[in-house]
């Protein structure tokens, strides 16, 4: 995306004009800021959003290096962090249960309680391949068009293979059995430990797993649509004095091509300014 020339108005000579421009980020050892990058017939100008200014004459540039790179967006990083946080919470809850009473019986009951609940949810989703239709979807289909109900159930994989109607599905039975196993195991865990405090600890473990699972599914969905990553182009301007100006621009910007066109034979005293106010 080009930058309006008035971004550089206070830095241009009377007979100087911007021929190519872009938005980007300048990266220094101790400084990083968004700004505008402009190329004139004489210089490369960088004006940051904090009103700091850098100029490099074309004669000071020895080479240009450009490569694609990708970084996590704030949302993508947040969901990945939530996966880790959820897993830590789940482990902490499970260890807390074992801390109440360390024995083989408490371990088995705790594992059966958590495992039963997790497996029941997995089966409810149809083996991880989808979820049952929401009650309001089924009710809406019944009220409007009974044929639409077949479409709703087909999306959930509840129709027979020949499509002639709703087939038998054993998942509700499995979910009820697994849920009962989890509940009975929880009662057994309370009986073995003799402490009701294990109940909230089990809830904490399940909540951690739920958070981790939700964040993981959101991460996969964002990665599939490209929302979880920001695609950039890293552009390095190598100077005659050995320094390097590092820029980050959007992957669609091809400021590197414009910069490559200004590389010349270096002169004895090129002008390279420091970042300054």
**pLDDT tens digits, one per residue of 32-42:** 788 888 888 88
Residue 143 has pLDDT above 90, yes or no: no
**Which of 128, 96, 111, 122 minimizes the C-alpha distance to 182?**
111
Residue 274 has pLDDT above 70, yes or no: no
To 10 degrees, the CA torsion angle through 88, 91, 96, 97? 150
Which pLDDT score, from 0 to 100, does residue 29 have? Answer: 63
33/194 Cα distance (integer angstroms): 59
Domain borders along the chain are: 5-72+229-260, 74-131+168-225
Residue 232 has pLDDT above 60, yes or no: yes
pLDDT-derived band of residue 176, with 50, 70 and 90 as boundaries? confident
Contact status, residue 88 vs residue 133, Cβ threshold 8 Å: no
- Both tokens of 141, joined, read 């289909």
Greatest mean pLDDT among 25-29, 115-119, 127-131: 115-119
154-to-103, 163, 209 alpha-carbon distances in Å: 47, 8, 29
CA R_g for the chain = 31
73-87, 130-144, 233-247: least confidently modelled range: 130-144
CB proximity list for 107: less than 8 A, separation 6 or greater: 98
End-to-end CA distance of the chain: give it in Å, rounded: 25
> What predicted TM-score, i.e. pTM, was given to this entire model?
0.51
To 10 degrees, the CA torsion angle through 48, 50, 52, 56? -10
**Which of 204, 205, 197, 193 minimizes the C-alpha distance to 106?**
193
81/210 Cα distance (integer angstroms): 14
121/113 Cα distance (integer angstroms): 13
The domain 5-72+229-260: what is its CATH number?
2.30.29.30
**Which of 184, 188, 221, 182 minimizes the C-alpha distance to 205?**
182
The angle at the Cα of 272, spanning 269 to 276, to the nearest 5 degrees, equals 145
Which pLDDT score, from 0 to 100, does residue 57 have? Answer: 86
């Amino acid at each position: 995306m080009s930058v309006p020339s008035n971004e550089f108005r206070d830095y241009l000579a009377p007979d100087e004009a911007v021929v190519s421009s872009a938005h980007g980020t300048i990266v220094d050892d101790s400084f990083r800021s968004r700004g505008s990058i402009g190329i004139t017939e004489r210089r490369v100008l960088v004006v940051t959003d904090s009103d700091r200014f850098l100029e490099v004459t074309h004669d000071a540039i020895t080479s240009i290096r450009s490569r694609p790179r990708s970084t996590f967006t704030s949302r993508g990083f947040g969901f990945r962090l939530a996966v880790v946080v959820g897993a830590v919470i789940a482990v902490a809850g499970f260890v807390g249960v074992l801390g109440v009473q360390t024995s083989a019986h408490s371990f088995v009951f705790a594992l059966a309680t958590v495992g039963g609940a997790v497996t029941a949810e997995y089966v409810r989703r149809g083996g991880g391949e989808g979820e049952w239709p929401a009650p309001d979807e089924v009710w809406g289909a019944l009220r409007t068009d009974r044929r639409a109900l077949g479409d709703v159930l087909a999306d959930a994989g509840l129709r027979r293979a020949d499509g002639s109607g709703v087939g038998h599905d054993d998942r509700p039975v499995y979910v009820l059995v697994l849920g009962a196993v989890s509940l009975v195991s929880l009662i057994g865990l309370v009986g073995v430990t003799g402490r009701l405090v294990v109940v909230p600890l089990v809830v904490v473990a399940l909540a951690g797993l739920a958070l981790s699972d939700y964040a993981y599914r959101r991460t996969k969905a964002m990665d599939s649509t490209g929302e979880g990553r920001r695609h950039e182009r890293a552009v390095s301007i190598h100077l005659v004095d050995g320094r390097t100006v590092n820029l980050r621009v959007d992957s669609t910007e091809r400021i590197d091509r414009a910069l490559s066109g200004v590389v010349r034979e270096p002169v004895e005293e090129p002008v390279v300014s420091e970042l300054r106010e």
